[in-house]
Copies of this chain bind each other. A is one copy, B any other.
Amino acid sequence: MRAHIYITPKEGILDPQGLTVGKALRNLGMKEVTSVRMGKYIEMELPRTTRKKAEEITKQACDRLLANLNIESYRFEIVKET
């Protein structure tokens, strides 16, 4: 199985990198961009696991290492390798 993991700053948490990128885009002429939030996208390979096992491991990986739960939230999906 393969996990696609999306980690984003929690609502209400200041995201200075996103603010900076948003400003840079507007300075480049893309005035329509009002807000940018920067997060992480992680692809994780878990060959020879069941969907259930892959979900368990991915949750554990997010909780213990990948996400800082004080300021970030995460969601993920498990897909079959192509």
The interface centre, meaning the residue of A21, A24, A43 with most chain B CB atoms within 10 A of its CB, is A43
A interface with B by C-beta (< 8 Å): 6-8, 18, 21-22, 24-25, 28, 30, 32-49, 53-54, 57, 60-61, 64-66
A33 touches B46 (CB 8 A): yes
B7 touches A60 (CB 8 A): no
A7 to B21, CA, bound (A): 15
A65 to B23, CA, bound (A): 11
B41 touches A6 (CB 8 A): yes
B57 touches A21 (CB 8 A): no
B53 touches A21 (CB 8 A): no
List chain B residues, Cβ under 8 A from A65.
21, 24-25, 28
